[in-house]
Amino acid sequence: MVFSLISSTLSSYCGPDVIFDKAGENGLLANEGFRRSHDYVQGWLRQADPETGLIPKNLDWKIYSKRFKKGGRNIWNAKDAAADNYPFMVLTCALTDGDLFKGRMLSMLNTEIQLTSRIDRLPDTYNFVTKRFHDRKPDLESIIFGSSEYIKDGLLPLTEWLGPSPWSNRMIGILDDLWKHAPVQTPYGNILSTKLEVNGEMLQVLSRVYWMTGDSKYLDWALRLGDYYLLDQHHPTRDWDHLKLRDHGCEIVSGLCELYATVNFALPEKKLVYEKPVHQMLDRILEVGRNEHSLFYDAINPIEGTALTERIADTWGYTYNGYYTVYMIDKTEAYRTATIKALSNLNDHYRSYDWEKGSADGYADSIESAINLLNREPLDQVATWIDSEIQVMWAMQKEDGVIEGWHGDGNFARTSIMYSLWKTGGITIDPWRQDVIFGAVQNGSDLWLSIKVKKKWKGKIIFDAPRHKTIMNLPFDWPRINQFPEWFAVESGKTYQVKDSAAHGKQRYTGQQLHDGIELTLEPGKSRQIRVRR
């Protein structure tokens, strides 16, 4: 029996004590995820460059993981250190260490801006030894790639959680300067690159930033890419004989689907133009790009209809995000069916699977794939699989907090936090402390929260908000790469009934009050049980 999913029938066959006990179990799992993420930050901060305070691209592979002979101990770069690692140190500190968040994390951002901005606000690689840019001359193509990675992989998911911040300002600054220097001429206007990865990232970023800011220039830039791929001779499945369905290629599929979602509301006439080529792309990938369990191959030749490798993409769910988005718009049942089939096969066939030769990064991407789609399709067997695979990934962490000693360690924290937020229903606490155990169970419109402490604790329990509306202004909550799903999200204009085991009767709060936080004081060794009803 799975209690951490949304269920309308849970209380009909389980008493309150059983439900709160399960909430407590979820709290232990959430606590481990937050603690491991905090340990990861501490481990990497001990490896920071002593003069600049910036973290290196990678650590010494001889010490941490002989599988990753990557180098980069003496550099900070945009596509790796800035994109994959640093932002999730920031997110971890935002949730678990306010002093580090406001202090060292912000200081690192300011240092990075000062030292690495090379072409306007676009970052380039910085060398700790020479104390200058790593490359004597700027390489615009390389700088564009690194900047795109930094925005999409790091600053955008950070913004979707934090909202307006110095990090969102950095994101917008880089994005504007990227398109200021867009070098590739097309009939639709200049674009950044001819690479699927960069343009796929930009389609995702521009679609979301357009809604977030309301500035039409971001949609105009996205439409250049949409026309280039859907209305010209660059269609991903009609005109390309090599299409990656794993990261470093799959971004174009979900990116085009995010633009499709955007024009559905912003430019309905454009949606009609894009509809056929988008469905052609998705249908062809379903036809030739999956194994018997409905998981995607790493790469295919869509023209010949063959798989270019038998290996399965750990980012399978990133592609299914696009399918599910289009399903939500057009109600194409085949896209939902394919998604559910993939999810339904995980627990039977992919326990301890060799994602990316056993890398924690492969586990992170696959677990995130499942969590994001579980938020839309709450299947018990998927929750069981996630619970088992997170333990496999967690076991890879070293005693000093470092995981594998390369920039992909940030993905370990990103996934651990996503998992922990699932187990708490999106609730966080301030201040966070390792001995404060809090977890939740969702049951229809109710949330059952258990919180207990070893030492006296005074603070707030903070409820999540519908961030896709309050921060991103999206017209609906489509599944997105690297998003942090919403579980029990309170709406500011609605009223909620709160029953606290330590108080008599029931109290009413607005959603805004719950999001601002409920003040609690817990005595040593005590616990509280709180039930919240919409």
Mind listing the pLDDT tens digit for each residue in 290-347? 999 999 999 999 999 999 999 999 999 999 999 999 999 999 999 999 999 999 999 9
**Residue 407 covered by a domain:** no
Q: CB-based contacts of 401: which residues, under 8 Å, 6+ apart?
A: 36, 39, 40, 41, 42, 43, 44
**Residue 532 covered by a domain:** no
Instruction: Look at the chain and report how many structural domains it folds into.
Output: 1
Phi, psi of 184, rounded to the nearest 5 degrees: -95, 120
pLDDT mean over 98-121: 98
The pLDDT of residue 13: 54
Strand partners, 224: none
Q: Does the pLDDT at position 420 exceed 60?
A: yes
Tokens of 242: 């090599």
- Distances in Å between the Cα of 417 and the Cα atoms of 17, 96, 399, 463 are 27, 10, 19, 15
The pLDDT of residue 66: 59
Report which residue type is found at 410.
G
- Percent of the chain at pLDDT > 70 equals 96
Phi, psi of 232, rounded to the nearest 5 degrees: -125, -160
Confidence of residue 361 (pLDDT cuts 50, 70, 90): very high
The pLDDT of residue 443: 86
- Distances in Å between the Cα of 77 and the Cα atoms of 113, 119, 283 are 12, 14, 38
Q: Which of 158, 344, 346, 365 is nearest to 245 (CA)?
A: 365
Mean pLDDT of the chain: 95
The pLDDT of residue 64: 73
The SS3 of residue 240 is coil
**Residue 58 covered by a domain:** yes
pLDDT mean over 188-196: 97
**Residue 402 covered by a domain:** no
Strands 126-127 and 437-443: unpaired
Confidence of residue 16 (pLDDT cuts 50, 70, 90): confident
The pLDDT of residue 4: 45
**Residue 296 covered by a domain:** no
Please give the Cα distance from 103 to 89 (Å, whole number): 12
Please give the Cα distance from 364 to 142 (Å, whole number): 26
For 486-526, the pLDDT digits (tens) are: 999 999 999 999 999 887 778 999 999 999 999 999 999 99
Strand partners, 508: 497
Domain that holds residue 97: 49-181
Confidence of residue 69 (pLDDT cuts 50, 70, 90): low
Q: CB-based contacts of 301: which residues, under 8 Å, 6+ apart?
A: 241, 242, 243, 307, 308
Residue with tokens 């085949």: 334
pLDDT mean over 223-233: 98
Confidence of residue 7 (pLDDT cuts 50, 70, 90): very low
Q: Which residues of 406-438 are buried (b: 16+ CB within 10 A; e: fewer)?
A: bbbbbbbbbbbbbbbbbbbbbbbbeebeeebbb
Q: Does the pLDDT at position 226 exceed 80?
A: yes
**Residue 166 covered by a domain:** yes
Q: Taking a C-beta distance cutoff of 8 angstroms, is the pair 257, 321 a contact? A: yes
Burial class (CB within 10 angstroms; exposed 0-12, middle 13-18, buried 19+) of 47:
middle
Per the model's pLDDT, the better-predicted residue between 474 and 69 turns out to be 474
Q: Sign of the CA dihedral 327, 333, 335, 338?
A: positive
The pLDDT of residue 11: 44
The pLDDT of residue 464: 98
**Residue 444 covered by a domain:** no
The pLDDT of residue 534: 87
Q: Does the pLDDT at position 6 exceed 90?
A: no
- Percent of the chain at pLDDT > 90 equals 92
Confidence of residue 68 (pLDDT cuts 50, 70, 90): low
**Residue 171 covered by a domain:** yes
